[in-house]
Amino acid sequence: MAHLIRHKISNKLTNAAHTVSNKSQAKVSGVFARLGFQAATDEEGLGFAECDDLDYDYRQGMQMDVLRGEEEEGRDVDGEGELDGDTHYQRDGTGPRQATLKSGGSLEEDKPKITSWEAGWNVTNAIQGMFVLGLPYAILHGGYLGLFLIIFAAVVCCYTGKILIACLYEENEDGIKVRVRDSYVDVANACCAPRFPALGGHVVNVAQIIELVMTCILYVVVSGNLMYNSFPSFPVSQKAWSVLATAALLPCAFLKSLKAVSKFSLLCTLAHFVINILVIAYCLSRAREWAWEKVKFYIDVKKFPISIGIIVFSYTSQIFLPSLEGNMQKPSEFHCMMDWTHIAACVLKGLFALVAYLTWADATREVITDNLPSTIRAVVNLFLVAKALLSYPLPFFAAVEVLEKSLFQDGGRAMFPDCYGPGGQLKTWGLGLRVGLVVFTLLMAVFVPHFALLMGLTGSLTGAGLCFLLPSLFHLKLQWRNLLWHHVFFDVSIFVIGGICAISGLIHSIEGLIEAYRYDIHD
């Protein structure tokens, strides 16, 4: 009996010692995680991919699950003293994983993968959308330099898209590249860690929300503009047309998914390509009247920076590139896909902008279809309005998701209560916020009905930041040890040039809006 009592007491003391040791170890590892370091012991033999899971947990909000043993009093510990709560930070291969790593370095998820052609189609939709209609207006104020910028912006955006994806990967101890980050926000948070682990993500989220909301506003503006110029004899102002367009968009507030809308996206895109071909065909029919003498190297110093913003905005696709690359069947084909999509975009945009400007020269309007004869203008513009209205839900839904995830669904750190009920139904006040966002886009479109100026402002404010500044900065920060001298030169040059263009374009766009508002200029 005495021997049995001594044995039980000895086991309890041993378990208690293991518990204290593991608590101390977990707390120390938590402190190191907050400082941006990895706590490891000789016995754990952490692999690089597992270490980045630590970084992933840390960047997602540093929510430490410090030892469930503190909540589960009296829980027995196994022979090695490993507690469940510690596996998030002491990765030994037994902890919970949200995804497994493939040999190629991508996260293995049960999601359907897309081919490089499908990925290229998505990129093409992003950079060959309706906003190419403003490029001839950029040539009006930039001449041949505007054409050069269309080419230059394509090259730079293609390059920054590639280096942004490079920031998602790190080399493990065997020299194999492993995908350790999933999104633009993850890259931004990794750059700001350990001192400000969430600052980068907040900056990127704000930029994304601004760009998405401004895109929605531009769709309402262009809808009102096209309808007003299609039916000038109607006693309806452009602002009234914008109100009517927004009334048709109110059902967007009830969207829970984009399945219904996505069915029309292919038809809308094809219709847009047909419209571009019709415009180019009309311009070619007037080739004898082309005003080559109007295309000069002279630039309008005051308005050309606005053109830069317009051109940059027409190439923005970096927001969704990480997700797109992660869902490709062969991520190794991403670079090739980016090359041919941006080459095609550069050629088509350059030709479209040049032939349209040569046709109408100094009479070029903000939206080029407004220059078409009245006989075909109404038909073309109606197709464009339909495309704009069907394209509106995409950026709107994306903006709503970012807002809801950041402010209402961010675990225990959300600023406001969840806007969804227990059954997944949208609460009344959540629906009110969505309706408020639709009404906000209407008010902006009504009080600032200037398509080119708004497009230039958005391109200078968020387009340059998301496409030029942040990717080059993140690449320098995360991949510094692997960069050659010409990579550093390219990144620094893009950052400097992008910063200058962003500041000058922002200033001149605001000045243009103030001037247009003060003197009631409609075009």
Instruction: Tell whether 1 is covered by a domain.
Output: no
Residue 156 confidence (pLDDT) above 50: yes
The residue ranges of DSSP E strands in 26-128, in sequence order, are: 100-101, 107-108
pLDDT at 95 (0 to 100): 36
Among the residue ranges 182-186, 259-263, 513-517, the one predicted with the least confidence is: 259-263
Least confident of 5-19, 228-242, 304-318, 446-460: 5-19
Q: How confident is the model over 303-334, as pLDDT tens digits?
A: 888 888 889 888 988 888 998 898 899 999 99
pLDDT tops 50 at residue 482 = yes
Most confident of 147-161, 220-234, 388-402, 412-426: 147-161
CA-nearest of 41, 43, 39, 93 to 64 is: 39
Residue 384: CATH number of its domain: 1.20.1740.10
Measured between alpha carbons, how far apart are the two ends of the chain, in Å?
Answer: 99
DSSP secondary structure, 191-223, as one string: HHTTTSTTHHHHHHHHHHHHHHHHHHHHHHHHH
Q: Give me the pLDDT at residue 60, please.
A: 40
Q: What is the average pLDDT score of the chain?
A: 76
The single-letter DSSP state of residue 108 is: E
Residue 196: pLDDT band (50, 70, 90) is confident
**pLDDT of res. 299:** 77
Q: Look at residues 23, 29, 9, 7 and name the one whose alpha carbon lies nearest to residue 72.
A: 23
Q: Supply 378's token pair.
A: 């109404």
Top-confidence residue, 119 or 39: 119
The answer to whether the CB of 192 falls within 8 A of the CB of 353 is no
- Does residue 22 form part of some domain? no
In a domain, 16, yes or no: no
Q: What is the pLDDT of residue 5?
A: 54
Residue 358 inside a domain? The answer is yes
Structural domain boundaries enclosing 299 = 116-409+434-519
Mean of the pLDDT values across residues 415-428?
A: 69
pLDDT of residue 132: 86
Please check the confidence at residue 502 and state whether its pLDDT lies above 50.
Answer: yes
Which of 178, 164, 231, 242 is CA-nearest to residue 451? 242
Dihedral of alpha carbons 472, 473, 476, 477, sign: negative
243-271 pLDDT, tens digit per residue, is: 999 998 888 888 776 665 565 666 677 77
Average pLDDT over residues 417-437: 76
At 232, the pLDDT band (50, 70, 90 cuts) reads confident
Strands 107-108 and 169-171, bridge-based pairing: unpaired
Q: How far apart are CA 510 and CA 160, in angstroms?
A: 27
Q: Is residue 127 predicted with pLDDT exceeding 50?
A: yes
Whether the pLDDT of residue 421 is over 70: the answer is no
Write down the pTM of the prediction.
0.71
Q: What are the φ and ψ backbone dihedral angles of 214, each rounded to 5 degrees?
A: -65, -35
Decide if 233 is inside a domain: yes
Q: Quick one: average pLDDT of 113-140? A: 85
228-237, 345-354, 452-461 — most confident range: 345-354
Contact criterion met (CB below 8 Å) for 305 and 497 = no
Q: Are 162 and 339 in contact (CB under 8 A)?
A: no
Phi, psi of 107 (to 5 degrees): -80, 130
Residue 475 has pLDDT above 90, yes or no: yes
Tell me whether residue 188 is in a domain.
yes
Q: Assess whether pLDDT exceeds 80 at residue 56.
A: no
For 70-111, how does the pLDDT look when each residue is reduced to its tens digit (9 = 90+)? 444 444 434 444 333 333 323 333 333 344 444 334 444 455
Checking if the pLDDT of 9 tops 70, the result is no
Q: Phi and psi at residue 61, in whole multiples of 5°?
A: 140, 0
Count the domains in the chain: 1
Mean pLDDT over 130-142 rounds to 86
The mean pLDDT of 102-125, rounded to a whole number, is 68
- Please report which confidence band the pLDDT of residue 496 belongs to, taking 50, 70 and 90 as the band edges: very high
Please report the pLDDT score of residue 411 as a whole number. 52
What pLDDT does residue 379 have? 84
The pLDDT, as a whole number, for residue 258 is 62
Assess if residue 426 is contained within a domain.
Answer: no
Ranking 148-157, 256-265, 425-434 by mean pLDDT, the lowest is: 256-265
What average pLDDT does range 225-246 have in this prediction?
Answer: 89
Is the residue at 2 inside a domain?
A: no
Condensed to tens digits (0 to 9), the pLDDT of residues 57-72 reads 433 443 334 333 444 4
pLDDT at 154: 95
